[in-house]
Amino acid sequence: MPEIPFQRVAIVGLGLMGGSVAKALRAVGYEGQIHAALPSAAAVAALRSSAEPWRIELGHQLPEVLVDADLILLATPPKVLLSQLPEVARWADPAAVITDLASTKNTIACRATEIFGARFVPGHPVVGSEMTGFPAAREDLYRAAQVVLTPLTGRTDELALDKVRQFWMALGAGVQEMSPQAHDAALAATSHLPHLLAYIYLAGLAPQFPGLENLAGGGLRDFSRIVDSNPALWADILQENQQAVRQQLQQFQDNLRLVEQLLTDEAIPDLQTWLERGKTVRQQFHFPPVLSE
For the chain, strand residue ranges (E) read 8-12, 33-37, 56-59, 71-74, 97-100, 120-121, 123-125, 146-149, 174-177
User: Per-residue string for binding with its own copies, 70-109, x by CB under 8 A?
Assistant: ----------------------------------------
Give yes or no for residue 223 binding its own copies (CB under 8 A).
yes
Q: Which of 14, 16, 127, 164 binds its own copies (CB under 8 A)?
A: 127
Its sign, for the CA torsion 136, 140, 144, 149, is positive
- Residue 224 neighbours by CB under 8 Å, 6+ apart: 198, 201, 202
Instruction: State how far the Cα of 65 lies from the Cα of 59, in Å rounded to an integer.
Output: 6
User: What does the per-residue mask of binding to its own copies show for 182-211, with x meaning CB under 8 A?
Assistant: x--xxx-xxx-xxxxxxxxxxxxxx-xx-x
User: In the complex, what is the shortest distance from the CB of residue 179 to its own copies, in angstroms, rounded to a whole number?
Assistant: 12
Whether residue 227 contacts residue 129, with contact meaning beta carbons closer than 8 Å, is answered with no
- Tell me whether residue 58 or residue 237 sits nearer to its own copies (CB atom): 237
Nearer to its own copies, 158 or 209 (CB): 209
Is residue 220 close enough to count as binding its own copies by CB under 8 A? yes
Interface of this chain with its own copies, residues 224 to 263, rule: CB under 8 A: 224-229, 231-232, 234-236, 238-239, 242, 245-246, 249, 251-253, 255-256, 259-260, 263
Task: Pick the stretch among 58-66, 69-77, 92-100, 268-276 that binds its own copies (CB under 8 A).
Answer: 268-276
Q: Is the Cβ of residue 95 or residue 290 nearer to its own copies in the bound state?
A: 290
Cβ-based nearer residue to its own copies, 95 or 203: 203
Nearest approach, Cβ of 80 to its own copies (angstroms)?
15
Pair type for strands 123-125 and 146-149: antiparallel
HSE (side-chain half, CA atoms, 13 Å) at 144: 7
**Rounded Cα–Cα distance for residues 281 and 289 (Å):** 18
Instruction: Compare residues 89 and 136 and give the one whose CB is closer to its own copies.
Output: 136
Specify the residue, 95 or 206, whose C-beta has the smaller distance to its own copies: 206
Collect all residues with Cβ–Cβ distance below 8 Å to 204 and sequence separation of at least 6.
none
Both ends of the chain: CA-CA distance in Å?
26
CA angle 267, 272, 278 (to 5 degrees): 135
Q: How far apart are CA 193 and CA 172, in angstroms?
A: 28
DSSP label at residue 62: H
Q: How far is the CB of 124 from its own copies (least distance, A)?
A: 10
CB of 236 to its own copies, least distance (A): 8
Cα(232)–Cα(237) distance, rounded to whole angstroms?
9
Of 119 and 192, nearer to its own copies (C-beta) is 192
Site string for its own copies, 32-71 (x = CB under 8 A): ----------------------------------------
Contact segment (CB under 8 A) with its own copies among 13-21, 61-69, 149-157, 282-290 equals 282-290
Count of residues engaged in binding its own copies, rule: CB under 8 A: 93
